[in-house]
Amino acid sequence: MALRIVRVPVLSDNYAWLVHDPVSGETVAVDPGEAAPVQAAAAAEGWTIDQVWTTHWHPDHTGGNADIRATGARVTGPAAEAAKIPTLDATVGEGDVVRIGTEVAQVLHVPGHTAGHIAFHLADEGVIFTGDTLFAMGCGRLFEGTPAEMFANMQRYAALPDATQVYCGHEYTQSNGRFALAIEPDNAALAARMADVDAARAAGEPTVPTTIGLERATNPFLRAQDANGLGKLRERKDSFRG
């Protein structure tokens, strides 16, 4: 991988991501829920944030945009949610591209969690930023969309190469895994993964990024057979207290 990616914990359980291209020296902040930790992490690396990429309008993903933009960064986000993200300098949608140095990220429209949610896929790097759509062993709540939309998203993600690194927006893996085990108690890959997740969280370690291959084996939402099945899973997850 030519790019360097740094995880930045923000707020209570969010992750922002710093993406740095050592060739051009350019740095992108993805979904900075608050500015200070992201700016501090960039400064610690000796980087200047040149861009912000925003996956959706929710404040825990856009809260740092204004302060980072004030330092000269250009903010790009979903055209369909421009009215809800006043900090945007540029808008993108399905089929558009954004760049960091010479590296190109394809923009995917992945509605469901919010109506205009997008993902950023750096195919040559084997990296995708999924915001609050695909999580480790989970998917986002359907606040503004339908099971059919989220199922279509899962199908798109499942078609990516197994080695694709998935950078999502939250540390939800342990609770997602408990639900997944309730759905598939005989899934040996899932049980093994949860043992690793529980050990990591007990040690205070993060569990993301994940990979498409790992999600294909252990994520009940990515493994759903149809939109109706995904919708029922999402309803059960919304009330799950395990």
Any binding-site annotation on 61? yes
Select which of 20, 58, 109, 117 is catalytic: 58
pLDDT digits (tens, 9 = 90+) for 47-103: 999 999 999 999 999 999 999 999 999 999 999 999 999 999 999 999 999 999 999
pTM metric for this prediction: 0.97
pLDDT digits (tens, 9 = 90+) for 183-192: 999 999 999 9
Select which of 60, 109, 117, 121 is catalytic: 60
In which band, very low, low, confident or very high, does the pLDDT at 128 lie, cut at 50, 70 and 90? very high
Any binding-site annotation on 170? yes
According to the model, what pLDDT value does residue 241 have?
A: 85
Select which of 20, 61, 117, 121 is catalytic: 61
Question: Residue 119 pLDDT more than 90?
Answer: yes
Q: Rounded mean pLDDT of 185-212?
A: 97
20 is an active site residue: no
3-state helix/strand/coil string of the chain: CCCEEEEEEECCCEEEEEEECCCCCCEEEECCCCHHHHHHHHHHHCCCCCEEECCCCCHHHHCCHHHHHCCCCEEEEEHHHHHHCCCCCEEECCCCEEEECCEEEEEEECCCCCCCCEEEEEHHHCEEEEECCEECCEECCCCCCCHHHHHHHHHHHHCCCCCCEEEECECCHHHHHHHHHHHCCCCHHHHHHHHHHHHHHHCCCCCCCEEHHHHHHHCCCCCCCCHHHHHHHHHHHHCCCC
